[in-house]
């Protein structure tokens, strides 16, 4: 088998689940001119540098600087990496860490962690959780990476203000630079100044920047995701190679050769023609669980739009839902099979796990368990996956399969890059502004007023 990510839409076709719920060859054919046109447009915008996520992986200098800085911090024997950030500043790192670090990573000994720090992603402002983190992570052994493009994110800045007091009290002001790293907007060049700039200046903090043309949810391959990844010992070069491989694959407008466009086309047709208002992402691997959460933001914020580009009111956007195989077979599959046929389910599969676990020949006195004996947990997982998607097919529920050969930096980067390109294409098909999020401003404004700002 070729060692690459495979996308299989055959179970989302009319042939598999009927024309009411599945995509017909004609519908795909009809969409092809729009795909070509959108491809053209995306390529143009990319060439103009309008949106920067496409080329983050090419920025050798930034990757080198990220790696160098991470090594410098790692040489200080830090025990904890705390991310102060929310949304796009947090979800990429969570997805990568869950995929690429061992399960129960924070419970492992320093040695088993290969001298890399534990990870705490503080993407909420629950006071109980934040206080607990502060107890567990003494500042002398901790590096805090504060991430906000504008430096105006209330949650993140409140966290930072607490951490600044902690460090000043426990270690002294001069130690700030050894424990806090800033990731924010670049300076000058037409950029809105970030409130994190004066913070970095005052304390002489190391400062990473996110290109102005890269939004939070598309920033995982910028220092937002890559600096934490480097501190955790991930292979940045393999990320770059994975992005490059997928970028190369996604250069063609030919649907059958472009996995990102293929997924976008099927999801779009499923939504607007077949009433599949819900896009479930269901990885069959614990390691990929948080990729589904990362995707939730990407899909929801990019496509959930009131207005089309031409100003008409559309209220567009599928609702992305995270599920986990096999766990959620015992929670959601009843609904997915027998409830409203309003979902398209993307199953993420892993061809080979790093671990093979044999089910031994025990409980011999129970003949009903014979079928499990001397099989492997891996085989059982694969059988349940097949059983579930076959059962979904019987109920005429469309399924897209995405298969990774393994879970490693190279393939996870391919997967995330593919989902980003898919989202960019889908935004074009829905004809919305993929890269903004006007709907989140109102709530922020009201919250600020309640806090007494803008008086």
User: Using CB under 8 A, which of 8, 213, 380, 403 touches a copy of itself?
Assistant: 380
Please say which residue, 67 or 337, places its beta carbon nearer to a copy of itself.
Answer: 337
161 binds a copy of itself (CB under 8 A): yes
Are the CB atoms for 46 and 233 separated by under 8 Å?
Answer: no
197 is catalytic: no
CB of 192 to a copy of itself, least distance (A): 12
Q: Which residues pair with 401 in a beta bridge?
A: 8, 347
Please say which residue, 76 or 444, places its beta carbon nearer to a copy of itself.
Answer: 444
Choose, from 76, 131, 444, 445, the residue flagged as catalytic: 444
301 is catalytic: yes
- Which residue's entry shows tokens 């195989």? 325
330 is catalytic: yes
- Tokens describing residue 95: 């997805």
The string over 274-305, giving b where at least 16 C-beta atoms fall within 10 Å of a residue's C-beta and e elsewhere, is bebebbbbbbbbebbbbbbbbbbbbbbbbbbb
Distance, CA of 139 to CA of 200 (rounded, Å): 18
User: Using CB under 8 A, which of 13, 341, 423, 434 touches a copy of itself?
Assistant: 341
Please say which residue, 50 or 306, places its beta carbon nearer to a copy of itself.
Answer: 306
358 three-class SS: strand
Of 271, 300, 319, 314, residue with least CA distance to 434: 300
Choose, from 2, 330, 365, 455, the residue flagged as catalytic: 330
User: Using CB under 8 A, which of 326, 351, 403, 408 touches a copy of itself?
Assistant: 326
Restricting to residues 266-325, name those near a copy of itself by CB under 8 A: 277-278, 285-287, 293, 296-297, 300-301, 303-306, 315-317, 319, 321-322, 324
Of 238, 52, 289, 48, residue with least CA distance to 149: 52
Choose, from 27, 301, 349, 420, the residue flagged as catalytic: 301
Please say which residue, 2 or 135, places its beta carbon nearer to a copy of itself.
Answer: 135
CB of 186 to a copy of itself, least distance (A): 19
Q: Which residues pair with 343 in a beta bridge?
A: 278
Restricting to residues 209-228, name those near a copy of itself by CB under 8 A: 216
- If binding means CB under 8 A, how many residues of this protein chain bind a copy of itself? 130
Instruction: Please give, one letter per residue, the 3-state secondary structure of 46-105.
Output: HHHCCCCHHHHHHCHHHHHHHHHHHHHHHCCCCCEEEEECCHHHCHHHHHHHHHHCCCCH
Cis-peptide into 326, omega within 30 deg: yes
Restricting to residues 39-58, name those near a copy of itself by CB under 8 A: none
User: Using CB under 8 A, which of 124, 237, 251, 252 touches a copy of itself?
Assistant: 124
> Which helix (H) or strand (E) element contains residue 14?
helix 14-17
- Which residue's entry shows tokens 């983050």? 56
Restricting to residues 97-116, name those near a copy of itself by CB under 8 A: 102-104, 106-108
Which amino acids are annotated catalytic? 301, 330, 444
């Amino acid at each position: 088998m070729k060692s690459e990510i495979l996308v299989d839409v055959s179970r989302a076709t009319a042939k598999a689940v009927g024309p009411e719920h599945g995509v017909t060859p004609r519908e795909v054919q009809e969409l092809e001119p729009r795909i070509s046109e959108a491809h053209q447009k995306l390529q143009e915008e990319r060439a103009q540098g309008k949106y920067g996520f496409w080329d983050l992986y090419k920025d050798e200098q930034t990757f080198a600087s990220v790696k160098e800085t991470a090594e410098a911090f790692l040489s200080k024997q830090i025990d904890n990496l705390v991310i102060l950030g929310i949304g796009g500043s947090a979800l990429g790192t969570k997805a990568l860490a869950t995929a690429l670090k061992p399960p129960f990573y924070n419970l492992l000994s320093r040695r088993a962690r290969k001298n890399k720090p534990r990870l705490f992603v503080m993407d909420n402002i629950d006071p109980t959780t934040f206080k607990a983190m502060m107890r567990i992570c003494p500042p002398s052994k901790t590096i805090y990476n504060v991430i906000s493009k504008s430096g105006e994110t209330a949650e993140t800045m409140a966290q930072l203000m607490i951490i600044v007091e902690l460090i000043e009290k426990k270690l002294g002001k001069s130690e700030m630079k050894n424990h806090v790293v800033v990731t924010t907007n670049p300076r000058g060049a037409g950029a809105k100044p970030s409130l994190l700039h004066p913070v970095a200046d005052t304390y002489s903090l190391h400062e990473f920047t996110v290109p102005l043309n890269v939004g939070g949810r598309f920033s995982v391959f910028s220092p937002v995701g890559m600096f934490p990844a480097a501190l955790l010992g991930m292979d940045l070069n393999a990320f770059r190679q994975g992005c490059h491989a997928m970028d190369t694959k996604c250069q063609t407008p030919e649907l059958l050769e472009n996995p990102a466009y293929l997924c976008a086309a099927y999801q779009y047709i499923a939504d607007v023609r077949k009433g599949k208002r819900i896009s479930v992402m269901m990885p069959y691997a614990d390691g990929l669980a948080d990729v589904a959460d990362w995707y939730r933001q990407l899909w929801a914020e990019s496509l959930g739009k009131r207005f089309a580009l031409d100003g008409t009111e559309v209220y567009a956007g599928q609702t992305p839902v995270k599920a986990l195989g096999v766990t959620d077979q015992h929670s959601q599959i009843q609904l997915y099979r027998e409830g409203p046929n309003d979902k398209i389910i993307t199953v993420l599969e892993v061809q080979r796990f790093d671990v093979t676990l044999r089910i031994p020949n025990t409980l011999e006195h129970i003949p009903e368990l014979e079928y499990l004996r001397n099989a492997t947990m891996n085989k059982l997982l694969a059988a349940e996956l097949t059983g579930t998607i076959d059962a979904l097919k019987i109920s005429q529920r469309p399924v897209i399969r995405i298969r990774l050969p393994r879970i490693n930096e190279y393939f996870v980067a391919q997967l995330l890059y593919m989902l980003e390109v898919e989202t960019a294409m889908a935004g074009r098909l829905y004809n919305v502004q993929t890269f903004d999020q006007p709907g989140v401003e109102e709530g922020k404004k009201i919250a600020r007023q309640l806090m007494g700002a803008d008086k």
